[in-house]
Amino acid sequence: MKFHHVGIPTTTQREGETYLAEGKLYVTDTEASPYRIEWLRFEDDSPMPDVLKTTPHVAFVVDDVEAEMADKNVLIEPWEPMEGVKVGFILHDGAPVEFMQIGSEA
Protein backbone atom coordinates (compact mmCIF):
# COMPACT_ATOMS: atom_id res chain seq x y z
CA MET A 1 0.00 0.00 0.00
CA LYS A 2 1.40 3.36 -1.06
CA PHE A 3 0.07 6.87 -0.32
CA HIS A 4 -1.44 8.55 -3.40
CA HIS A 5 -3.40 11.68 -2.43
CA VAL A 6 -5.64 13.56 -0.05
CA GLY A 7 -9.12 14.32 -1.38
CA ILE A 8 -10.83 17.49 -0.16
CA PRO A 9 -14.46 18.37 -0.88
CA THR A 10 -15.00 21.89 -2.23
CA THR A 11 -17.64 24.08 -3.81
CA THR A 12 -15.06 26.10 -5.75
CA GLN A 13 -14.65 25.39 -9.46
CA ARG A 14 -10.99 24.79 -10.34
CA GLU A 15 -9.04 24.80 -13.56
CA GLY A 16 -8.44 21.39 -15.13
CA GLU A 17 -11.31 19.55 -13.45
CA THR A 18 -12.41 16.20 -14.87
CA TYR A 19 -16.10 15.28 -14.75
CA LEU A 20 -16.98 11.80 -13.49
CA ALA A 21 -20.52 11.26 -14.78
CA GLU A 22 -21.33 8.15 -12.74
CA GLY A 23 -20.59 9.97 -9.50
CA LYS A 24 -21.80 13.38 -10.70
CA LEU A 25 -18.67 15.10 -9.47
CA TYR A 26 -15.63 16.97 -10.70
CA VAL A 27 -12.09 16.08 -9.59
CA THR A 28 -8.73 17.74 -10.08
CA ASP A 29 -5.53 15.98 -11.13
CA THR A 30 -3.40 15.05 -8.13
CA GLU A 31 -0.32 15.01 -10.37
CA ALA A 32 -0.80 18.76 -10.93
CA SER A 33 -0.71 19.46 -7.19
CA PRO A 34 2.66 19.73 -5.44
CA TYR A 35 0.96 18.42 -2.27
CA ARG A 36 -1.03 15.58 -3.91
CA ILE A 37 -4.39 17.27 -3.24
CA GLU A 38 -7.45 16.15 -5.18
CA TRP A 39 -10.28 18.67 -5.02
CA LEU A 40 -13.77 17.13 -5.34
CA ARG A 41 -16.75 19.26 -6.36
CA PHE A 42 -20.10 17.47 -6.27
CA GLU A 43 -23.27 18.22 -8.18
CA ASP A 44 -26.31 18.75 -5.94
CA ASP A 45 -27.78 15.40 -7.00
CA SER A 46 -24.54 13.39 -6.76
CA PRO A 47 -25.24 9.84 -5.57
CA MET A 48 -22.01 9.78 -3.57
CA PRO A 49 -22.32 9.29 0.22
CA ASP A 50 -22.64 12.46 2.30
CA VAL A 51 -19.51 11.65 4.29
CA LEU A 52 -17.45 11.78 1.08
CA LYS A 53 -19.07 15.09 0.13
CA THR A 54 -18.19 16.68 3.48
CA THR A 55 -15.08 14.93 4.84
CA PRO A 56 -11.55 14.81 3.41
CA HIS A 57 -10.24 11.36 2.51
CA VAL A 58 -6.84 9.77 2.10
CA ALA A 59 -6.08 7.48 -0.86
CA PHE A 60 -3.66 4.61 -1.27
CA VAL A 61 -2.56 2.62 -4.31
CA VAL A 62 -3.00 -1.11 -3.75
CA ASP A 63 -2.47 -4.22 -5.86
CA ASP A 64 -6.04 -5.50 -5.42
CA VAL A 65 -8.90 -3.21 -4.39
CA GLU A 66 -11.31 -6.03 -3.58
CA ALA A 67 -8.78 -7.86 -1.41
CA GLU A 68 -7.90 -4.66 0.45
CA MET A 69 -11.58 -3.96 1.13
CA ALA A 70 -12.42 -7.48 2.32
CA ASP A 71 -13.89 -7.59 5.83
CA LYS A 72 -13.90 -3.79 6.12
CA ASN A 73 -16.74 -1.27 6.44
CA VAL A 74 -17.41 -0.64 2.72
CA LEU A 75 -18.58 2.87 1.84
CA ILE A 76 -18.45 2.59 -1.98
CA GLU A 77 -18.05 -0.70 -3.81
CA PRO A 78 -15.19 -0.85 -6.35
CA TRP A 79 -15.88 0.95 -9.64
CA GLU A 80 -13.90 2.33 -12.55
CA PRO A 81 -14.27 6.14 -12.70
CA MET A 82 -11.60 6.41 -15.41
CA GLU A 83 -10.17 3.86 -17.80
CA GLY A 84 -7.46 1.82 -16.09
CA VAL A 85 -8.31 3.04 -12.58
CA LYS A 86 -10.45 1.04 -10.16
CA VAL A 87 -11.35 2.60 -6.82
CA GLY A 88 -13.29 1.67 -3.74
CA PHE A 89 -13.90 3.40 -0.42
CA ILE A 90 -14.16 2.17 3.15
CA LEU A 91 -14.99 3.97 6.37
CA HIS A 92 -12.25 3.74 8.99
CA ASP A 93 -13.02 5.30 12.37
CA GLY A 94 -15.67 7.45 10.65
CA ALA A 95 -13.36 8.75 7.92
CA PRO A 96 -13.39 7.74 4.25
CA VAL A 97 -10.34 5.90 2.92
CA GLU A 98 -9.88 5.27 -0.80
CA PHE A 99 -8.08 2.31 -2.33
CA MET A 100 -6.92 2.64 -5.94
CA GLN A 101 -5.82 -0.05 -8.37
CA ILE A 102 -4.04 1.51 -11.31
CA GLY A 103 -3.05 -0.17 -14.56
CA SER A 104 -4.05 -3.01 -16.78
CA GLU A 105 -5.42 -5.12 -13.91
CA ALA A 106 -7.88 -2.41 -12.84
- Rounded-to-5 percentages of helix, strand, coil across the chain: 15, 45, 40
Q: Say how many domains are in the chain.
A: 1
pLDDT in tens, 70-99: 999 999 999 998 889 999 999 999 999 999
At 52, which CATH number? Answer: 3.10.180.10
In terms of residue numbers, what domain contains 95?
A: 2-102
pLDDT in tens, 37-73: 999 999 999 999 999 999 999 999 999 999 999 999 9
